[in-house]
Structure 1
Amino acid sequence: MNLSRLLSALAVLLLLPATASAEGGCEQWISPALAEGPITFGFLSADVATGRRACPRTEVGFGVQGGAIIETENFYGAVTGAGLLSGSYAVRPDLEVFATLEATRFQFVQNATLTGTTLHLGQLTVGGTWVALTRGAFVLAPSARLQLPTSFASPRTRTLGAEVGAAMLYRPTNRFEVHGYAGLDGDLGLGAAAALPRAGFLMNVGTEYALCSGFAAVLDANLHFGHRAVLDYLAPALGLRFRAGEHFGAELGASVPLLGAERALAIGGLKLTYRM
């Protein structure tokens, strides 16, 4: 065998591993401990408007995420950070319930010569995903999420919100997937002040490729409308996903808004999970 044929054979083995079987795309992922679906670090509270994976999993996770706003022309800057607790339970192979809690949320703000620091409990979200359609490598899964008014960011106002949408997965091989999500989200204030209801629409599309059973890279594009402007943000996101053993996984990710009204320079985080 000459060198060109050898290189061609290696390329085929790397790029075209075993194709999806009749069991469906959810059963084909190369390693159960590797994270799946969209990157979970977003610009809103907890996991709101970050999309959702299509496949049910039972896992617990801990993460940290943060972002920064720096507007020198307005003499304004803000740094935020949150410690996230998350979990999901696969009630059945086609049904998952999940929750995410901002166990601590920190914010430092400087406006001209004035500064302020807060540390408080953040938002709690709970929801569920149902696999409605499986056709070979393709999976379609509607989901719903409720944002509960647990945050103490404002002493006189609590925030209540909800999100409904659907996740899509196309996994033709056990190393490669195309995922997407489309959903509507909204929130309003509860308290003495005006409710100020807001609504937004998220579109996510991304790909994930596993170089081996212990490492995968994911690239997403997120488009959000209507929450604070006609275009809230167009933001690409990059994630690196690892596993350590049969059950432990880690995800490192970041997102940068290129267009829109979003004021953050970037947001990023690290998430550790244990899949059962």
Structure 2
Amino acid sequence: MNMSRLLVSLVALLLLPAAARAEGGCEEWISPALAEGPVTFGFLSADVATGRRACPRTEAGFGVQGGAIIETANLYGAVTGAGLLSGSLAVRPDLEVFATLEALRVQYVQNATLTGTVISLGQLTVGGTWMALTRGPLVVSPSVRLQLPTSFASPRMRTVGGEVGAAVLYRPVNRFEVHGYAGVDTAMSLGAAAALPRVGFLVNVGTEYALCSGFAAVLDANVHFGHRAALDYVAPALGLRFRAGEHFGAELGASMPVLGAERALAIGGLKLTYRM
């Protein structure tokens, strides 16, 4: 097969609808408008190292999230907030592409003598998830995510990175699931400063239960290694998920590090989605 035919075949594989429908756990969820998978508010930029759901969806979302560092002994404090735009497209029943943009990032910092506020565009991430295995209620979906150097928070430096991982879903009934994610994330700086390459490892395990078709609660445990220290954080996360009608959904979520080098007291946010 020559190169042109190979390229045509690859494009057709990605863009043409698959003949088979998604099966098993991904079709069991009690309400399409309710969010699925791990809580998506994390301690790194945009949605890096927050895990990923296993099931492809087509949706558009808007969210806000924020966190705070308060170190009285060091006379230091920082409050960060971001407005997030996100979206995903189920190209096929087993293939999703997605993106998240920190459309507005605000950080206020104060130490013993100085204060400062930075308002800028934040990081953009793009990626894809492939539902590689379905066996009844079990779904396994590898994913890849790129972090693009779009942030202007530091005028002489840009951050670039990536993440590779896999999501696992076990959904035996339509209102209960156990989910997990394991991934490796990398980041480095571009510009006048040192590159400072970093590698992190995330393990997420969680469960979600829908009390009814309009409300579900999710509880996650997240462990991250290697980005700032040998143990970055052990952080439980809680999410409350709602739906309004057939297409609209909302999620309130928060995560708090209880062990590790992470300096933030907590991070939390609100996300609104429209599922198509």
Q: Which residue of 1 aligns with 2:162?
A: 162
Q: 5+ residue gaps in structure 1?
A: 1-21
Which residues of 2 match residues 202-217 of structure 1 at below 5 A?
202-217=202-217
Q: Residue 50 of structure 1: CA displacement?
A: 0.1
Q: Which residue of 2 aligns with 1:251?
A: 251
Which amino acid counterpart does residue 157 of structure 1 have in structure 2?
Answer: M
Measured in 1, the distance between the counterparts of 2:93 and 2:274 equals 18
Q: Given the two structures, how large is their TM-score scaled by the length of structure 1?
A: 0.92
Which residues of 2 match residues 113-152 of structure 1 at below 5 A?
113-152=113-152
Q: Residue 113 of structure 1: CA displacement?
A: 2.3
Identity among equivalent pairs (%): 86
Q: Which residue of 1 aligns with 2:53?
A: 53
Q: Which residue of 2 aligns with 1:274?
A: 274
Q: Which residue of 1 aligns with 2:75?
A: 75
Q: Which residue of 1 aligns with 2:241?
A: 241
Measured in 2, the distance between the counterparts of 1:254 and 1:113 equals 31
Which residues of 2 match residues 10-89 of structure 1 at below 5 A?
23-89=23-89
Q: 5+ residue gaps in structure 2?
A: 1-21
Q: Which residue of 1 aligns with 2:4?
A: none
1:206-242 Cα distance to aligned partner (Å, 9 max, x none): 0000000000000000000000000000000000000
Q: Residue 194 of structure 1: CA displacement?
A: 1.2
Measured in 2, the distance between the counterparts of 1:254 and 1:166 equals 23
Measured in 1, the distance between the counterparts of 2:127 and 2:197 equals 21
Which amino acid counterpart does residue 79 of structure 2 have in structure 1?
Answer: V
Which amino acid counterpart does residue 172 of structure 2 have in structure 1?
Answer: P
1:62-89 Cα distance to aligned partner (Å, 9 max, x none): 0000000000000000000000000000
3-state DSSP class of the match of 2:27? helix
Measured in 2, the distance between the counterparts of 1:23 and 1:196 equals 43
3-state DSSP class of the match of 1:122? coil
1:21-43 Cα distance to aligned partner (Å, 9 max, x none): x9300000000000000000000
Q: Structure 1 stretches (4+) deviating beyond 2 angstroms?
A: none
1:79-109 Cα distance to aligned partner (Å, 9 max, x none): 0000000000000000000000000000000
Q: Which residue of 1 aligns with 2:223?
A: 223
Measured in 2, the distance between the counterparts of 1:160 and 1:34 equals 32
3-state DSSP class of the match of 1:250? strand
Is 1:111–2:111 an aligned residue pair? yes
Q: Which residue of 2 aligns with 1:16?
A: none
Measured in 2, the distance between the counterparts of 1:194 and 1:113 equals 26
Which amino acid counterpart does residue 141 of structure 1 have in structure 2?
Answer: S
Which amino acid counterpart does residue 164 of structure 1 have in structure 2?
Answer: V
Q: Which residue of 2 aligns with 1:99?
A: 99
RMSD of equivalent CA atoms = 0.7
3-state DSSP class of the match of 2:262? coil
Measured in 2, the distance between the counterparts of 1:190 and 1:69 equals 26
1:188-220 Cα distance to aligned partner (Å, 9 max, x none): 011122111000000000000000000000000
Measured in 1, the distance between the counterparts of 2:250 and 2:113 equals 40
Number of matched pairs = 255
1:229-273 Cα distance to aligned partner (Å, 9 max, x none): 000000000000000000000000000000000000000000000
Q: Residue 160 of structure 1: CA displacement?
A: 0.4
